[in-house]
Amino acid sequence: MTLKEEHGSILLEAVLVLPIFVLIVFFVIQMTFVWTAKQMTYYAAYCGARAALVYNPSDYKAEQQDDGSWKTNGFVREGVVHEAACTVLSWISWSLAGQDIGGLGIAHMANDLLNFRIGLYGVPLSSNIHNQVSVEVCEFEKIEDADAKTSGKQEQASVEEQFPAVTVRVRFRCPLFIPLGGMVVAYFYGARDSVPEEMSSWLTRDAVGVSGFTGAHGDIVHANLAARGNYTKSGNISYYSMVLEESCTMAKPYKTDTYPLIPQ
């Protein structure tokens, strides 16, 4: 036998490349879902904005500001707009809430009752959707007076200067459940040095560490990467996740006054 014999070289190369190749494939697959989720998030923002169009601001937990505009004062997880976004994103929720029902100590994926419901139908694997989605609604925001800032004027924009539109920002915690691929994506995109405050509680609770990812900010990283949900059947299972944020602005030249107010 001589070195000139190349029998099995491809196979050998394939074997050598395979792990990387598989990693790439998984990465591609994961990114596919991420891109899909991103588009879905945009669509969720669109649906949320449309919900804000048709409903009274008080229905989406917005509070009227001094200048007459409506804001949610931060991302919220209540209200009609949030519900609209959850309706869209429930299909890609793929995470479970950590609630136990029936005292069984089991959060079973087949537990349909906790899933997000559309009518009578529960979307599979969507029981955690409300925690994954947060929305921020801004309506009739005041147009900033750039001149006033530079000149130091304290004048407030009049009502007419309010921008007649509603802007909805949706943040969706997309689960990265593809093995390996999820890890790769999470490492590059999911980790944040700073976590949005409203999301920190989701993350620290029941957070579990991820082996292999340690460091000076290991705890934070772990917190970021830890999904809330877990299976308890076989112990805790961690989900990697990343936060996708999209916004949509739609014109709304009117305000509605529902009388009486619709209860939540």
Partner 1 sequence: MKNRLAQYFGNRLSALRRDEGFVVMSTLAIFLFIFILCAFVYAVGETIHQRIKIQNACDAAAYSAAVVQADGLSRMAVVNRAMSWSYVQMTNRQMDYITYRWLKLTCKHFQEDKDNAEKYNANLVLAADKELGYWALLEAAVSGAISIIFDLDCSGRNGTSKKIVHVAHGEEGHGWWCGLDVEDRKGHVIRLNHPKNEKFVNAVVTSALETVTDMLTTHENIQKVVSLFGFIDSDDSPDGWGERLGKLIDYDKFNINNLNNALPRINNQMTASMRMTAESILKSMLVDSRLDVSDALKDYYISIHIPEGVDPYQDVEQRSAAPKSFFSPLHNTEAEEMLFLNMATAKSASKSLPDHFPILGPDGLACGLDQWFIRGKGLYSDGEDHSCDSHPLSVSFAESPDFHQATMIRDEGMLGIQRIYKDSNLNENGAGFLATERMKQVGVHPAQYIRHSSNFSALPQCCKDACERFHNGSTNEYWIAEHPVYAKVPDEKKAVWRGNHLIDFLNITNNLTNVAKGFLSNNSVSINDNMSQKGAVEDRLKEIHDSQLPPGSNDPYTSPLDKEKDKGTTGFFKDEGNQEKMNAGGADPSLVESGVGKIANAISNVLGNMLGNFLDIHPSCENEPKLDYAKYPMCETIKDPTSALYSEYRWGSGKWICATKGLTYLLCLAFDHPYIYCDYPSGELEIDFGLVSFDIDVDGYLHLGWPKWFCGNEPSGFHVIPPLIPRSISGRHGYMKNNMTDLLTGGFIRPMKPLWGNEKDRTFSRQEYECCAMFFDGITDCAVPIMGLVTWPGLIRGHARIYGDDKEIYNNRYVGAKCKPWVLNERFFAGDGTIVIGAAMKHTNPLVQLMNFWNSNAGTQADADTTVLSAFNIPQGNYMWTMSAARAGVRHTRRNGEFDQERQYQITYDSTSDPENLLYGSSYVFSQKDDSGDKGSWVHPVTWGGTHDDNPNSLSRYYNPSKKQTEVPIWNGCPCGRNAIQFRNLWNLCETDWDATLIPLRYAGQKAVLYTGGDSSDEKGKGQPFNELSYSERSEFAGNADNNNKVGKGENWVWSSPSLTDNPFVMNGWKPAKTSFFADLAYENLPGPLTTLYSTLKKDGLNLNSNVPTGKKEQTIDVFTILKDRIL
Work out which of 47, 62, 133, 174 binds partner 1, going by CB under 8 A. Answer: 47
**Of residues 42 and 202, the one with the C-beta less far from partner 1:** 42
Query: Residue 172 in contact with residue 243, Cβ under 8 Å?
Result: yes
Distances 220 to 91, 198, 201 between C-alpha atoms, Å = 28, 15, 12
Q: Is 227 in the site for partner 1 (CB under 8 A)?
A: no
How many angstroms separate the CA atoms of 185 and 61, rounded? 34
Q: How many residues bind partner 1 (CB under 8 A)?
A: 52
- CB of 239: closest distance to partner 1 in angstroms? 19
Q: Is 66 in the site for partner 1 (CB under 8 A)?
A: no
Q: Is 26 in the site for partner 1 (CB under 8 A)?
A: no
The DSSP-derived string for 30-72 is HHHHHHHHHHHHHHHHHHHHHHHHHS-GGGGT-EE-TTS-EE-
Name the token pair of 150: 């530079």
Query: Residue 190 in contact with residue 213, Cβ under 8 Å?
Result: no
Work out which of 26, 27, 55, 163 binds partner 1, going by CB under 8 A. Answer: 55
User: Which residues form the interface with partner 1 (CB under 8 A)?
Assistant: 6-11, 14, 25, 28-29, 32, 35-36, 39-40, 42-43, 46-47, 50-51, 53-55, 68, 80, 83-84, 87-88, 91-92, 118-121, 124, 159-160, 164, 253-264
